[in-house]
Structure 1
Amino acid sequence: MGTHRPPVVMPDMKRRRASTGERIATIMTLARRLPLTRQVLADQLADATPSQMEFMESWMNAEIESRERSKRSRLLKAAGFPADKELGGYDWTPIRFPVDYGRGQITTLDFIAGHDDLVLFGPPGTGKTHLAIALGRNACRKGIPARYFTAAGLVMRLLRAQSDNRLDRELAAIGRTPLVCVQLVVAGLVT
């Protein structure tokens, strides 16, 4: 299945001459064919006017932001979160932290950079799943890949990969993901 790209919205041509419209169409066609080359860009900037440089800077910032938005959207979709949970409004009162660890290390996602495990456990209804999903979504918004599995779903996925003779690839793909959230349900209790 291919990715669906939104249609390109062309600039309003009512106030522009026909030759400008033709030039815009030509530029759009060229843009599909050419990624930027640093040296060519440097050569063009050497002769650019300040207003042309300002335009190029604005254009590149818009492109970077567009790519970052697309990446965040792809990461959120690929993560497989079952719900849209967020940290805002999360009730931290039932949570107990180890002496040397606290809310700051969790919400800033420092545990990911430190390659630390974070285990959330406790009785049902204390918000473990909510917190795991919210942290995962926060990671995706920061450009950090995350995946969400139920333990049963993960086991089934690995069994299917094994039967398809691709277990090593599946384990490697999961292992490359910086944040993997696994929800375990034991005898009707969510842990």
Structure 2
Amino acid sequence: MMVVRCREDAERLRSLARAMYFSNETVDAFLAGATAAQARAVASVLELEADVRERNKRERLYRRARFPQPKSFADYDFSRVSMPEGYGPDDLRSLAFLDGAEGFVLHGPTGRGKTHMAIAMGAAAVEAGRPVRFFTAADLVLWLKRVHRDGALEAAMRELSRCDMLIIDEFGYVPLDIEGARLLFQVVADCYERRSLVITTNIEFSKWGTVLADDKLASAMIDRIVHHGRLIEFTGPSRRMDAALMLAGAREAV
């Protein structure tokens, strides 16, 4: 029997086997007596299994992220978005900010595309195999209050700590009581320099104290967010109003 002679086939098999945690001893024993055709066949099986595992992983990550609807950068219009100086759409798409645990505040009036961008960032991260969680600020605070009452806050914080990106949508739409504000601050503080935090809001920083019912707490939260974060401003007319069915007749009349 002719043993494996093609170095390329052997290295391909070794690489796939390492990805699936086969021991070097097992791989060496197989390659010692395998033909080139056998090595290619086994490598093809491992390649297929790797693809299946990757697809299943992404599906799990999408379910865990709990995005309210699917969004991507493919159909996103950046013409009404003011990006930070020296930072552009390609920087967002690159996901380099994840490795630096950098965050973003997406600020602007309702209907300008903040949530779409946040979900697109999260979906791109999931496609890259990075865990993400999405919450509205109100839902996150309600969940934190519930687990706190149940004595499970520590476990909930560990769950959030497994994410590479946490998205908090609609901050400021609903005022928080002091308990909710403190729990939210705990989450933000835990993200600091550990994972990317993306916040969408229609409230400027100077008014965050009103939302959180505590100016000092707001100041401490903002301090952590801006240290490793970027502000993206959204302008122009409401995208929802542009596409509103209720106003379609009026636009046609004009």
1:151 alignment partner AA: A
> C-alpha root-mean-square deviation of aligned residues, in Å?
1.9
Q: Give the alignment partner of residue 116 of structure 2, picking from 130, 134, 140.
A: 130
Conserved in 2, the CA contact under 8 Å of 1:146 and 1:178? yes
Task: Output one character per residue of 1:103-132: Cα deviation in whole Å (capped at 9) or x when no partner.
Answer: 122111111111111111111121110111
8 A contact 2:144–2:153 mirrored in 1 = yes
Aligned match of 1:51: 37
Deviation at 1:40, TM superposition (A): 2.3
What is the TM-score when the length of structure 1 is the normalising length? Answer: 0.76
Q: Verify the 8 A CA contact 2:105 2:201 in the aligned structure 1.
A: no
The residue that corresponds to 1:154 in the other structure is 140
Q: Which runs of 5+ in 1 are unaligned?
A: 1-34
* Misfit runs of 4+, over 6 Å: none
TM-score w.r.t. the length of structure 2 is 0.58
Corresponding residue pairs, total: 157
Which of these residues, 137, 141, 144, is aligned with residue 130 of structure 2? 144
Give the equivalent residue in structure 2 for 1:81: 67
* Counterpart in the other structure of 2:154: 168
Structure with more of its chain in helix, by fraction: 2
Letter in 2 for 1:145: P
More strand by share: 2
The one-letter code matched in structure 2 to 1:54 is R
Task: Indicate if the aligned counterparts of 1:76 and 1:140 stay in contact, CA closer than 8 A.
Answer: yes
1:174-185 equivalent positions in 2, closer than 5 A: 174-184=160-170
CA distance in 2, matches of 1:187, 1:143: 31
Q: 2: distance between equivalents of 1:187 and 1:119?
A: 15
What per-residue deviation string (whole Å, max 9, x for no partner) do you get for residues 88-108 of structure 1?
A: 111111110111322122111
